[in-house]
Amino acid sequence: HGRLPSGRPGLVYGYRVHGPWAPHDGHRYNPAKVVLDPYAREIVGHYDGSDLFLGRNPAQPDRPDPRDNAAVALKARVAVPLAPVAPSRQRVEAGARVLYELHVRGQTRLHPAVPAELQGTYAGLAHPAVLDHLQNLGITTLSLLPVQHRADEERLLKMGLTNYWGYTTIGWFAPETRYWSGRPGTTPATEFRAMADAVHARGMELVIDVVYNHSAETDELGPTLSMRGIDNALYYHLRADDRALYENWTGCGNCLDFSQPRVVQLCMDSLRHWVTELGVDGFRFDLATVLARRQGGAFDPRAPFFAAAAQDPVLANALWIAEPWDIGMGGYRVGEFPPGWLEWNDRFRDTQRAFWLQRGSVSRGEFAQRFTASSDRFDHDGRAPMASVNFITAHDGFTLRDLVSYDAKHNEANGEDNRDGTSQNFSRNCGAEGDTDDAAILAERARLQRALLATLLLSQGTPMLLAGNETGQTQQGNNNAYCQDSPLTWLDWPGADADLMDFVRLLLALRREAEPLRSVQWWPAAPAEGVPSLQWRTPEGGSLSADDWQRSDRQALAILFDAPSPAPCWLVLVNAGAEPKTFVLPAGEWTRVLASDELGSAGDTSSPLPKATLPPSSVWVART
């Protein structure tokens, strides 16, 4: 520990750390390089990819670089502490939560109601017109892509690109300065805090995506910016066969070592800072499996980080969301995080995409399993259905519109000859690759978007929309637009699909009204008499046989949420097939409240008839 009595707000400083240069023993000390305090609340300077940031000698990689980089190094600035956040904020009920993943810059960069000087900033996100849209839509929880200070990869900088998504962080306490408006009298931190306060004033929650699994220092050829120059052997997982090399379970060149108490402490201190000073309500942990890997790489569900998180009084009420995988051996861990955690459920994403867009590839049983919160993954150790974060699209992959407009990725703009990004998209272009003026193709794409959105927002679990799902956003087939800070990724508000926005608003209102759709209890396989139950039926009105469940060539089914009087019963009819399907309705008079094939359909159609016919690619909802 050290103390600098004269270290008042405004002081800019960095560290020179002395020690051995012995990469094969894991040590990369180089006092010629000024390194950033990992606890920096404000950061000055900018990493530009220059070889002055290298700890190694570019001409002799096994030797330290003797050049002093103090003039260009990232440095910390002592910040004025912010007033503590009020601890009594009301939280959103688990069953009511609707996540909305967004990018701070992309959300408002083209928003016509936001003043030009605020577009793409924290202040822009706090603009009343932006929050009005989200609140009116029915969103409860904003989930921001990374907002911690980042350093873009040298490779991207040489191509004139940036890591737009922000998954190359280096300052875990400091808000990214590129999203700050620069207005006099503000700092990145004060502007972020004001945005958080504005979100809370609307009764919404604020979650941020955090990247503690790796740092912007990348692999052994990367820059020395902070932790590498302070204690490389402590902060990072190094390979046992050669400690000059890094484990790379992240695909980003290095992995932080959460088996080390000081790494866990640094992370927990950072999380508390974002909660107590910056007003954050929760966190989405990128590649969260890394945080639970022991020395040697084994995943441990009782890892030190989980224990620290569970017992921290400041973070007791925070929302914890895991991306439950990494690319290392045994890295896929969906459903294995501790009770209280939510997890991104890629099984839901892939199943529902394939069910609607790859006809005949998904059984009705698999559809039903994902529709009811994936109990095969999450129904254990007292975990609730809301642990499953359901989504159709996220930042990583096609937009919803592109999902029904492209059979293949088109990532040429990323500079990797279209090699990057997944090729397993479960997408369908409906007859033309990309933009078209064919009315029939456009109508089918619109129907499929609405059917996918209906499936997402009627399913049990915690739904997550990607910003632009509701506006018809396209990235022209780029399914890995991590490096595209341009109109390609900024939300096109002038071109927004008003009908689609109305449909999403209707769906979310329906979800709020229909309590069974957001049940926080698992549906029993054999419910007791007189209690709410969920029943699966064939279009003919009967129960599904074992063969019915397993067949993937039958893509229509009915879902009855039965309830004792006077509570209403709810009926969801699904037809993912290519032909109209007639359903025999349960006894009673049903009022249709949603038909995904008809724009603006609502509760003005009652059907005392015994049957209803659904068009292809459609969802129908009714109540008694």
Element (H, E) at 285: strand 282-285
Catalytic annotation present for 412 = no
Instruction: Report the distance separating Cα 473 and Cα 257, nearest Å.
Output: 38
| Alpha carbons 364 and 350: distance in angstroms, whole number | 14
> Do 293 and 329 contact (CB within 8 A), yes or no?
no
Tokens of 510: 């329906």
CA-CA distance, 598 to 51, in Å (whole number)?
A: 59
Kind and range of the H or E run holding 262: helix 261-276
Per DSSP, the three-state class of 63 is: coil
Q: Is there a contact between 516 and 510 (Cβ–Cβ < 8 Å)?
A: no
Decide if 450 contacts 425 (C-beta within 8 A): no
N residues, the chain: 624
Choose, from 286, 326, 336, 470, the residue flagged as catalytic.
286
Residue 473 in tokens: 């956003």
User: Helices (H) and strands (E) in the chain — how many of each?
Assistant: 15, 25
Token reading at 11 = 């002081």
**What is the C-alpha separation between 139 and 259, in angstroms, rounded?**
37
What number of CA atoms fall less than 13 Å from residue 613's CA on the CB side? 3
Q: 32: which 2 tokens? A: 């010629």
Two tokens, residue 565: 């009087």
What is the residue whose two structure tokens read 């990128």?
286
Residue 286 known to be catalytic: yes
User: Catalytic: which of 217, 323, 470, 597?
Assistant: 323
> Which among 602, 606, 586 is positioned nearest to 541, based on CA atoms?
586
Rounded Cα distance between 341 and 326, Å, is 17
Using CA atoms, how far apart are residues 312 and 324, in angstroms rounded to an integer?
Answer: 21
Exposure on the CB side of residue 9, measured as CA atoms within 13 A = 5
Instruction: Give dist(CA 469, CA 65) in Å, integer.
Output: 49
Q: DSSP for 348-372?
A: HHHHHHHHHHSTTSS-HHHHHHHHB
Active site residues: 286, 323
